[in-house]
Structure 1
Amino acid sequence: MSAPQNNQALIVVDMQNGLFHASQPPFEAGQLLQNINQLIDYAHLKQIPVFAIRHVGSDHTALASTSLLTQLIAELNIDHDLDHVLEKTRPNCFFQTDLEQQLKSLNIQEVIVCGLKTEFCIDSTCRAAKDLGLNVLLISDAHSTVDSAVLPAQKIIQHHAQTLNQAFVQLKTCAEFCT
């Protein structure tokens, strides 16, 4: 793939069966999926590379890379012939993956981040990307989580947007980005 003209890449984090189709679905799951698919479609239209990241664990566990739980959800508009699908074992999408190298090879300077879960992989990936010198655009209505024992999902999302904004990311809505 040749380097994109706009130096951006879309990173779709952990939109996999075990998280999206769990007994407790992500907050506003339908809207989340719609927004992420809109981002993917826009990226394809604008020739922005798409990286779909899957969280996997050890073989012979529920998180094995071959497990149904770790597979990307069928509803996601990922083009397996065009888009990059990577596996990670930690919340940070850059840790022990070749994501940074792939982005550098494409001369990517800004990543657009969306997916699951806000307080874990989204937060970790945004901070790591910033530490690597990338500009980070977090799509405020295209990441989500579930209720925790102490906070409802909506408060977790709002808290992380507030914490990450300006110091680590620039926030935009899906509609703002896709226009």
Structure 2
Amino acid sequence: MSRAALVVIDVQESFRQRPIWAYGSNPDIVGQVDRLVDAARARGDLVVWVLHAEPGTGGVFDPANGHVRLIEGLSAAPGEPTLVKTSHNSFTTTNLQQVLTAAGVREITVCGIRTEQCVETTARVGSDLGYQVTFVTDATMTFPIPHRDLPATATATPEEILADPRTLSNEEIVTRTEYVLAGRFATIRTVAELTGVTPAGARG
């Protein structure tokens, strides 16, 4: 039994189907998550994979369209559970808590897509459930958020979103998430701190 688990959230092909993918905050999301996974496996920690699905919507998160699967370059090892959620956090619509309890886990490390949405929400709920939570920001990814009043927000192009001065940038999103989580819901750590490996080209 392991007291710790790595929860990889929504690093799935669905996001790569959206035009905004090219403007994501972390082009090396797959490499960063893979480093965390390798380190977790080496320590004997549980690795849990979570995917987001919106059945019946006809969109990129509709399992019928084939994109609700781990992004190319990542794969679950035998015995590693893959859970499918329909809520923002990874607990409410899955048996994640049961899986963690059965494994004796009290500490979780979270990473994935999107920084301020499903990953942050999972960190908050996990903390409220009594888990010690580590949030690995540089193994998360997000995208610019349009202002709620942007005309046709649902269909706006990346260029329209980026041209609007009210758009929340990737940097602003990441900074805000770290501020609201640290000291309240999670400890903020980096991939290098958790693995001892600094990705090539990364700044110290």
Displacement, 1:65?
2.9
What corresponds to 1:158 in structure 2?
A: 175
Paired residue total: 173
What corresponds to 1:145 in structure 2?
A: 142
What corresponds to 1:14 in structure 2?
A: 10
Displacement, 1:75?
1.2
Q: Quick check: 2:7–2:109 contact (8 Å CA) kept in 1? A: yes
Structure 2: 5+ residue runs without aligned partners?
147-166, 197-204
Change (3 A) 1:166 1:60: closer
RMSD: 1.4
Among 114, 117, 121, the residue aligned to 2:118: 121
Among 82, 86, 103, the residue aligned to 1:85: 82
Which one has the largest radius of gyration? Answer: 2
Task: Quote the Cα distance in structure 2 between the aligned partners of 1:48 and 1:98.
Answer: 18
What corresponds to 1:71 in structure 2?
A: 69
Among 58, 62, 69, the residue aligned to 2:55: 58
Alignment-mate amino acid for residue 161 of structure 1: E
1:105-156 deviation digits (Å, cap 9, x = unpaired)? 1110110000000121011100000010000000121112001122111210
Task: Quote the Cα distance in structure 1 between the aligned partners of 2:77 and 2:41.
Answer: 12
Displacement, 1:68?
2.1
Q: Quick check: 1:20–1:29 contact (8 Å CA) kept in 2? A: no
Structure 1: 5+ residue runs without aligned partners?
none
Q: Quick check: 2:26–2:142 contact (8 Å CA) kept in 1? A: no
Change (3 A) 1:60 1:80: farther
Task: Quote the Cα distance in structure 1 between the aligned partners of 2:64 and 2:47.
Answer: 22
Identity of aligned residues (%): 26
Tell me whether 1:133 sits opposite 2:130 in the alignment: yes
What secondary structure sits across from 1:86 in the alignment?
Answer: strand
What corresponds to 2:193 in structure 1?
A: 176
TM-score, normalised by the number of residues in structure 1? 0.91
1:81-119 deviation digits (Å, cap 9, x = unpaired)? 232100000101001210001100111011000000012
